[in-house]
Amino acid sequence: MVKCGGGRDSNSVALDRPLKLWSLIIDSVRCGGGGGGGGIQGDSRRREEGAKSQAGSEKLSEILKQPEWWENEEVRRKEEALGGLKSVAQNLQGESMAAVVEAATEVRRLTKDDPQARTTLALLGAIPPLVALLDGGQDPTFNSQITALYALLNLAIGNDANKSAIVKAGAVHKMLKLVRSLDGAPNRAVAEAVVANFLGLSALDSNKPIIGSSGAIPFLVETLQKFDENVGSLAKTDSLRALYNLSILALNVYTLLETDLVPYLVNNLGDMEPSEIILSILSNVVAVSEGRRRIGAVPDAFPILVDVLNWTDSPGCQEKATYILIVMAHKSYGDRRAMIDAGIVLSLLELTLLGTPLAQKRASRMLECLRADKGKQVSSGGGGGGGGGAVSAPLIGTSLSMESELSFGDEDEMMSQEKKAVKQLVQQSLHSNMKRMVKRANLPHDFVPSDHLKSLTLSSTSKSLPF
């Protein structure tokens, strides 16, 4: 037992010695080496770590100082910008015409894309000298006036206070005086700049009565109707938009009606780009009785407006045309008859199926108006020659469809072959549109709308359309 135990102990010691030696070597490597050299390496490492720590502290200090430097730099740039704006404003009030024009050019450049510069320059008094520069007698080449016009235009962009200040400074009358001086020598650049200014200034409600009463409307109408190289397409579009802005004010509508604008607008419906603006102007014109009379007096006005109801790729135009027609239908029996003769019923029926929600409501209300008008005709004519006159049965609750109520069957005998062909084409269009609706709804291919569904589709359900 003793031998065995002693043998085991000796073997254990023999095995443990190499392990302890390796442990000492590993510990020495981890600590940077043993012996006398370990202290030197440790001191060197501590010095390196101290240097790194000091460098990190200096870098942190620099980072903490950056916001202060950035703020100072930002303040410096703002001060320089303000100084430049002050210098420009002072040069605008100088005696040298060349210096004033140069300052106006600088105003135009600075205010093109900088809202803050627009506000600051206006506060520094840049608007009055620019308006004074519009006097045509100072520069026969009109270069200074054109520069001033575009400087004022940029000052007014997105700034209602500047729009108001420009008008109050008398710019509108000076602009009109400037364009009237061009009768002998047309200048396209001047006309375009003036129209652009009227477009921007008329966007402010408080400016609408001033511009409308100044004589600007006839000038805008004339610019819109000109067919020569001195008026570009951009000036025409700007004139149309400016006239729309001015027509929002009912007082200006009467001034519009003193020109021949309404016939021009109706006859130029069809070009898809400006047509919605044209219809927007007519929507404002139709609000007054004289405006409705002028629209109705235009030859083929109702066929043109009814045709707009079929512009499926322009729902905005469909909505506005429906509004114009429904207002006129509610105010005049003669207009209703003209609309029916133009084929409005079939267009309205298609619109109730395929139009926007707003167009559908207006079309339904329009059909209700026409149906009620037809009922009145039956009531007044059904008595024959009797003294009392028979009263027709109520339309509500009858099982007649819309087509029978409007007595299309009786009218077929009197319709020309052309009208019959148009009616057939519209009916085919309705049928094909119904097929597309069935396909989009994933219904069976053999699905056929029931008579009840057709009657619901053809009936009018809207009773209170807030048009």
Terminal-residue alpha carbon distance, the chain: 118
Q: Return the percent helix, strand and coil in the chain, to nearest 5.
A: 75, 0, 25
What is the rounded CA–CA span in Å between residue 206 and residue 172?
13
CA 233-238-239 angle, to 5 degrees, is 95
Give CA separation, 231 vs 78, 269, 455, in Å.
42, 20, 54
If residue 234 lies in a helix (H) or strand (E), which one and from where to where? helix 233-247
Per-residue pLDDT of the chain (467 residues; tens, 9 = 90+): 444 444 444 444 444 555 555 565 555 545 554 444 445 555 566 666 666 666 666 666 665 556 665 667 677 788 888 888 999 999 998 888 899 999 999 999 999 999 999 999 999 999 999 999 998 666 777 899 999 999 999 999 999 999 999 999 999 999 999 988 876 556 788 999 999 999 999 999 999 999 999 999 999 999 998 866 667 788 999 999 999 999 999 999 999 999 999 999 999 998 767 899 999 999 999 999 999 999 999 999 999 999 999 998 899 999 999 999 999 998 888 889 999 999 999 999 999 988 899 999 999 999 988 887 665 554 555 444 443 333 333 333 333 343 334 344 444 544 555 456 556 656 666 666 666 565 555 555 554 444 544 443 343 333 333 33
What is the rounded CA–CA span in Å between residue 178 and residue 467?
42
Q: Who's near 152: CB < 8 A, 6+ residues apart?
A: 127, 130, 131, 166, 171, 197
pLDDT at res. 112: 93
pLDDT at res. 150: 97
Angle at which helix 171-180 crosses helix 160-168, to 10 degrees, equals 60
pLDDT at res. 136: 61
pLDDT at res. 94: 85
- 8 Å CB contact between 216 and 180: no
- 8 Å CB contact between 38 and 32: yes
Q: Which amino acid is at 340?
A: I
Give residue for tokens 């509610």.
Answer: 330
Does the global pTM surpass 0.85? no
In CATH terms, the fold of domain 71-169 is: Leucine-rich Repeat Variant (1.25.10)
Alpha helices by DSSP H, listed for 171-215, are 171-180, 188-201, 208-212
Q: Please count the other Cβ atoms lying within 10 Å of the Cβ belonging to residue 236.
A: 19
Domain coordinates of the chain in residue numbers?
Answer: 71-169
Give CA separation, 287 vs 253, 263, 326, in Å.
9, 17, 11
**What per-residue string of b and e applies to 219-229 under the rule 16 or more CB within 10 Å gives b?**
bbbebbeeeee
pLDDT at res. 466: 36
Tokens of 85: 């704006």
